Amino acid sequence: MDKDISIYIIGAGFAGSTIAHEISKKEIFGKVLAYLDDDEKKIGTKIDGIPVLGPIEESVKLIRITAEDEALIAIPTIDSERLHQIYLALKTAGFSKIKILPTVSQIVDGSAHLVQTREINPQDLLARTPIKIPLKSSLAYLSGKRVLITGAGGSIGSEIARQLLSGGASRLYLFGHGENSIYQIHKELLHLQEGGVGENAIIVPVIGELKDEHYMQYIMKKLNCDVVFHTAAYKHVPMMEDNPVAAIENNVFGTKNLLDACVECNVKRFVLISTDKAVSPISVYGFSKMLNEKMVLDYAKKTRDSSYMFVRFGNVLGSRGSIFPLFVSQIEKGGPVTITDMKMIRYFMTIPEACSLVLQTGGVGTNGSSYLLDMGEPVNIYETAKQLIRYMGYVPEVDIPIQIIGKRKGERLEEYLYSKDEEITPTKYPKILKLQNNEKNFPLDEVLDKLAPYCIYNENKKDLYRNREKMVNYIKENFLTKE
């Protein structure tokens, strides 16, 4: 950001004034010319010499805007509808550079830092208004602890890592097998710390492989961690349908290796991130996550004074491989936007909100328990695509065509958050539901024994090794729901 850039901060509250103060100390970031606010008590006043203009929609029309000017939306309590209104007003007035404080900065006790700002994107405008969670107090259970995040370079894992900066953990272990993604989140967290975000946790990148049983035993003993958030998984449904042995090898036996090591090393808290695709699964990926849930509950019986649990939720906005980044990319290229079916519906939650709820659940959840995040009402994907096209300044089916391509392998028109064998009950924590499974005993050990030769070489069963047809037939005939 150049020092000659003029910055207009939308919101003259605590977050906005904190950002303005930081900019004034670091003149290289530009100069704040004014606040824009709707509060009649603030309009016409000055904060540290900076005038407060308003109301927002009226005052923005009076500003002479250049191509270099920036607008920064800093309203922690803003809902998605109001955000969209302000965004349209800023775009209409001529702002091409519009930034926003991400949701995490709104959740963590109102703290705000310039380093957290980022370009606004269409997903911000489509998201429902997240609940406010007192994350700092929710993370008190992690104070002074060593915390490991598997899949730390992924969408969920990296956001958990960002939020954990404010948790008071003594060490954050960023575990993953992709060096580039782990490098990126490690660099980002160090940058956030340098910008004043969070506390002084030691951040340690760890490149490793869940599928390596001996390595997992070694590294868990070496790290001596207290808490594990297990987000790592192969999760692209059609790709896993084409690579089913890899899905089972990584998701099932990788998780088993991790659980074995955690129990051996007396890890006190283990939180598995699960998915609605584990409910009455129709895909190999969904089946692998269903097994993960059952494994965690089984291992909970083997722990000593510990809390092993899983948290299940539906789709998240903006995760890698999800429809929203795909739609944005397709719109930017002029279309077509590809839709599976006009009747397809999905539950959606923002990544920061889902991660905040997961972190909260990790502190209040009990051993051997299952939890479900309240995803609100499902949305129609076709209607959402049209809405996204409009938000990006185009007319659906006129400027940007929409193409129906049909269901891919492993997809269903509607996902279910819980099965007919499960009951949900509220907890005292908003958006966190408890799951009670009434299913009869599941032969977990037998299933794992059946699957093992397909993924782990056994001289006595070498004809089964990597035999995808036999493995898939076994899974389909015994566990997948017919659609």
Residues classed as catalytic: 277
Q: Output b/e per residue, 280-315; b: 16+ Cβ within 10 A.
A: bbbbbbbbbbbbbbbbbbbbbeebeebbbbbbbbbb
Cβ(337)–Cβ(403) under 8 Å?
yes
For 144, the 3-state DSSP assignment is: coil
Q: What six digits make up the tokens of 28?
A: 């290289």
**CA 275 to CA 230: how far, in whole Å?**
12
Residues 6 or more apart whose CB falls under 8 angstroms from that of 19 comprise: 9, 72, 74, 101, 112, 113, 114, 117
Cβ(37)–Cβ(128) under 8 Å?
no
Give CA angle at 337 (333, 338), nearest 5°. 130
- The DSSP-derived string for 276-337 is GGGSS--SHHHHHHHHHHHHHHHHHTT-SS-EEEEEEE-EEET-TT-HHHHHHHHHHTT-PE
Strand ranges in 37-104 using DSSP code E only, listed in sequence order? 46-47, 50-53, 70-73, 97-100
**CA 165 to CA 201: how far, in whole Å?**
7
Chain-centre distance for alpha carbon 192: 18
Cβ(464)–Cβ(266) under 8 Å?
no
Q: Looking at 309-443, list the stretches that DSSP marks H as alpha helix, in order from N- to C-terminal side.
A: 323-332, 351-364, 381-391
For 464, the 3-state DSSP assignment is: coil
**CA 237 to CA 220: how far, in whole Å?**
30
**CA 439 to CA 421: how far, in whole Å?**
6
Q: Output b/e per residue, 24-42; b: 16+ Cβ within 10 A.
A: eeeeebbebebbbbbeeeb
67 pairs with which residues across the strands?
Answer: none
* Pairing between β-strand 227-230 and β-strand 269-275 as defined by DSSP bridges: parallel
Torsion of CA 37, 41, 44, 45, to 10 degrees: -100
User: Which amino acid does the sequence have at 72?
Assistant: L
Residue in the block written with tokens 């966190």: 432
Closest CA to 241 of 468, 415, 455: 468
Cβ(173)–Cβ(182) under 8 Å?
no
